[in-house]
A and B are shown apart, each in its own frame.
Chain A
């Protein structure tokens, strides 16, 4: 079991690296992030090291269709939050090409105003095999930033056709960004993203068509859209480029942040995420044992190939495999 949970690749995480990390050296933070991004085997050790330093930060997802101004808004928000006394981490995800594996990451172009601002740490991530507009390592990278001392972590998703819901799983607050005259309002109602949003921002409010979009959004919400069981979802207009409406948005986010903490919902969300993390790690471990013991993936593939030809039911194989696979050595004490 131990091998699969130990780091094997690349330069190891030396005590000096951790010392530099805890001393607040930005390059050390960047190097730990690289490790999380590229070496899943190193994650358990990194998580051990981060313990005691997680649990306070508020994670804010910024999602919405391509080109609506997510990066520009993220930059303005980061400044606003930093001016309010926060240290701010940014994780901006861009799509990887499914063909070459490469990625063009252009979010920094819109974040020039943050250059030299050491209250902010910004990192770009390619989405790689990730689904739903995020990279597989997004949550882990946010953990590193939080342990590095960030109070607010902004997570900009890929600008996918329909705003993606997966960001809910790793953000405490979800900001949906739209722009005038793109028919986004109607689109997003279809995709159910409205229910996921804690704040809706109509950006590019300097362009024509803002009023119409605001009206159709208000209409949609009056029909009962919005996250069930919460207060009416606020709809704000901004012009990120001109830093207009940013103060109001920062105030709204900070008020939601303190509500989350005061009501215990923040702790509740963290518990749910930890539960998931644990379950997933154990599943991965169990699956790895099966691979080692019987070469499970290859066997499954062979059965699937046969079934494709024969048209048979997969259940005879599933029943046999399950009957022969029992977790019989586990000791309940170890699970206490």
Chain B
């Protein structure tokens, strides 16, 4: 099967801080052969999901280091569902306690990565999930 490149929207939601984390992830995904639509700083859940819809992205990757991961991931996931892209992967990184991870996972959010994780493992994870979804769609 000749898979076309995976398209990922990468953003840093919220008004605080810098987008170094998001850039590191974006670079790692490009290295892994993905097409990354980079939105950068100060994104709202609405702007992120609207971009993912227009780009028909396979996945959304959020970088949330501020501690506000719960509202951001929850809101983006909810909007993805209402906008009809609930089948697409939502993943990302931050400093996220196990308990929060479990809560988000129950909402359908994908695996979340911490500062200690090698960015290439995020790429591997996205590949696995996106190829599985595409295979299911073909059948």
Contact = CB atoms under 8 A, between A and B. Distances in A.
A115 B53 contact: no
A103 B54 CA distance: 17
Contacts of A106: 38, 40
B134 A10 contact: yes
Interface in B38-67: 38-40, 42, 44, 46-47, 50-51, 53-56
B16 to A, nearest CB: 17
A130 interface: no
Contacts of B50: 115-116
A31 interface: yes
A111 to B, nearest CB: 9
Contacts, number: 82
Contacts of A26: 53-54
Contacts of B134: 10
Given A11-B138, A116-B47, A102 B30 contact: yes
B53 A27 contact: yes
A121 interface: yes
Contacts of B4: 37-39
A115 B35 contact: no
Nearest to B139: A11
A295 B46 CA distance: 51
A105 B85 contact: no
B34 A27 contact: no
Nearest to B1: A9
B5 interface: yes
A103 B53 contact: no
Contacts of B54: 26, 30, 121-123
Interface in B102-139: 134, 137-138
B137 A11 contact: yes
A335 interface: no
Instruction: Give the interface SS of chain A, mostly helix, strand, loop or mixed.
Output: mixed
A100 B33 contact: yes
Interface residues of A, number: 32
Nearest to A108: B39
A30 B38 contact: no
A70 B51 CA distance: 19
A36 to B, nearest CB: 11
Nearest to A20: B84
B26 interface: yes
B83 interface: yes
Interface string B6-28: 00000000000000000000110
Contacts of B42: 112
B36 A100 contact: no
A22 B136 CA distance: 27
Contacts of B32: 100, 102
A181 B74 CA distance: 47
A324 B54 CA distance: 50
B56 A31 contact: yes
Interface of B: 2, 4-5, 26-27, 29-40, 42, 44, 46-47, 50-51, 53-56, 83-85, 134, 137-138
Shortest Cβ-Cβ A-B pairs, 8 listed: A102-B30, A38-B4, A30-B56, A34-B56, A115-B47, A101-B33, A109-B40, A126-B35
5 contacts: A26-B53, A38-B4, A103-B36, A112-B42, A124-B35
Interface of A: 9-11, 26-27, 30-31, 33-34, 37-39, 96-97, 100-106, 108-109, 112, 115-116, 121-124, 126, 128
Given A104-B27, A105-B36, 20 more contacts: A10-B137, A11-B137, A26-B54, A34-B56, A37-B4, A100-B31, A100-B32, A102-B5, A102-B32, A102-B35, A102-B36, A104-B36, A105-B35, A105-B38, A106-B40, A108-B39, A116-B46, A121-B54, A124-B55, A128-B5
